[in-house]
Amino acid sequence: MQPFVLSRPKTLAEAAELASARPQDSALRAGGIDLIDRMKEGLEAPARLVELRWLGEADREVMRALGPEGDGVQVGALVTLAQLAAHEGFGEAHAALREAAGSAATPTIRNAATLGGNLLQRPRCWYFRHADLVCLKGGSACLAVSGENKFHAILGGGPSFIVHPSTLACALTALDARVEIRGASPRTLPLAELFVTPKQDAKREHALQPGEVLVRAILPKPGPEQRSGYAAVKEKQSHDWPLAEAAVKMSLQSGVMTDVRVALGHVAPIPWRSREAEAVLEGKPPSEALFAAAAKAALAEAKPLRDNAYKIPLAQGLLREVLHRVAGVPLPE
């Protein structure tokens, strides 16, 4: 790593000012897991890291909050994945977030990595991560199109075929989360609006401007009898990036599913909400046949590259598994 100045501002306003004064040269740091990785790989060499963990009491409080907020739940951006995975206040309604947090990375990484960092990390594409290569993120062509693309996008791809790396984003998409941004134009927006599709701008994955800070995620008031779940398939059980993820949320009352949300992860450049699958499920009683139809609908538009067609049946099977578990319908066989 190149030497840098480590700034420890006391307020978010100071942090925002430091980070936006020389945006190409500064980086905000929370847990720092992805940032330090990129710096060690030589992808970035910021002259100044602006620490968010040393903020004064007032700002730290909101960024470390974990618990009820009105009728919903708030999760501060500095809450670690380990804290999320161990949080008992989530219950069945928000189980997807707990399960996702406990599934990411390793126990030691989860003790440092934060919600904010997980949502805003850069892609894991091996072309992007190679310091000697210039991919679409810095140049003019996505090298995955004609290269090795086993782990790349099957939905929503083009011109970039990265998959979004955030495991929490998959669960938070299913849970209808909103995120609060502070900076020049403070706002709270639906999670989907935080992410940028490659068609909008292939150089970036999120919409934050220099000096803007994601301070917390907010989960809305759970619906009646709300339940949720998350699962991933990986090549290794531990410390591996998912091949595919699925998260589901629904209210199950009088044998009927309502307010259904279906999200897939590691299949598209953004956390992928499947309105097609939701439409199949909404207002219907859960059943094996319906879940199979929903999974088929979720992947109907998939366009695999040379090496990743396997992701289609994989994601379908995974989504069915999560639907069965969340709805309490025994798996076939």
Partner 1 sequence: MSDRAGITRRGLFRGIGTAGLLAGCKPSERPPTTTDDPGGAAGPGAGEAALGPGPAPLAFTLNGEAKTVEVAPHVTLLAALREQLRVTGTKVVCDRGACGACTVLIDGVARNSCMTLAHDVAGAAVTTVEGLASGGKLSVLQQAFIRHDALQCGFCTSGMLMSCQGLLERSRGQKLAREDVEAAIAGNLCRCGTYPNVVAAVLDAAGGSA
Q: Which residue's CB is nearer to partner 1, number 13 or number 112?
A: 112
Q: Which stretch binds partner 1 (CB under 8 A): 55-63, 89-97, 196-204, 308-316?
A: 55-63
Question: Whole-number minimum distance, CB 33 to partner 1, in Å?
Answer: 6
**Quick one: how far is CA 188 from the chain centroid?**
17
With respect to partner 1, which residue has the nearer C-beta, 211 or 271?
211
Q: Segment contacting partner 1 (CB under 8 A): 5-13, 88-96, 150-158, 179-187?
A: 5-13
Helix or strand or coil: residue 131? coil
**129 is an interface residue for partner 1 by CB under 8 A:** no
Give the footprint of partner 1 on residues 63-82 (CB under 8 A).
none
8 A C-beta contact, residue 272 and residue 252: no
User: Should residue 126 be labelled a site residue for partner 1 when binding is judged by CB under 8 A?
Assistant: no
The answer to whether residue 60 forms part of the interface with partner 1 (CB under 8 A) is yes
Pairwise CA distance, residues 116 & 166, whole Å:
10
Is the CB of 140 or the CB of 238 nearer to partner 1? 238
> What is the DSSP annotation of 152-202?
S-SSS-SS-------HHHHHHHHTT-EEEEESSS-EEEEGGGGB--TTT-T
Q: Is residue 307 a contact point for partner 1 (CB under 8 A)?
A: no
Binding region for partner 1 (CB under 8 A) out of 3-11, 253-261, 275-283, 297-305 = 3-11
**Which residue number, 2 or 140, has a Cβ lying nearer to partner 1?**
2
Beta-bridge partner residues of 230: 247
Q: How many CA within 13 A on the CB side of residue 8?
A: 3
Which CB sits closer to partner 1, 115 or 257? 115
Pull the structure tokens for residue 247: 């998260």
Q: Are 119 and 97 in contact (CB under 8 A)?
A: no
Q: Binding to partner 1 by residue 238, rule CB under 8 A?
A: yes
**Given candidates 21, 42, 67, 106, which one binds partner 1 under the rule CB under 8 A?**
106
- With CB under 8 A as the contact rule, the residue among 22, 40, 275, 306 that binds partner 1 is 40
Question: Taking CA 43 as the corner, what is the angle to CA 13 and CA 63, rounded to the nearest 5 degrees?
Answer: 30
Q: Is 54 in the site for partner 1 (CB under 8 A)?
A: yes
Q: How far is the CB of 232 from partner 1 (least distance, A)?
A: 14
Least distance CB 100 / partner 1 (angstroms): 16
Q: CB-based burial of residue 238 (10 Å sphere; 0-12 exposed, 13-18 middle, 19+ buried)?
A: exposed
Q: How far is the CB of 3 from partner 1 (least distance, A)?
A: 4
Tell me the residue length of the chain: 333
Phi first, then psi, for residue 161 (nearest 5°) are: -115, 30
The dihedral over CA atoms of 147, 150, 154, 157, expressed in degrees to the nearest 10, equals -30
List 49, 175, 177, 297, residue binding partner 1 (CB under 8 A): 49
Interacting positions 239-258 with partner 1 (CB under 8 A): 239
Cα 21 to its chain centre, rounded Å, is 28
- Cβ nearer to partner 1, comparing 87 with 311: 87
**What are the residues whose beta carbons fall under 8 Å from the beta carbon of 39, sequence distance 6 or more?**
1, 2, 45, 46
> Is the Cβ of residue 241 or residue 284 nearer to partner 1 in the bound state?
241
Choose between 5 and 300: whose C-beta lies nearer to partner 1.
5
Interacting positions 8-27 with partner 1 (CB under 8 A):
8-10
Alpha-helix runs per DSSP H in 284-329: 288-298, 311-327
Report the nearest approach of partner 1 to the CB of residue 8 (Å): 5
Contacting positions for partner 1 (CB under 8 A)? 1-10, 32-33, 36-37, 40, 47, 49, 53-57, 60, 105-109, 111-112, 237-239
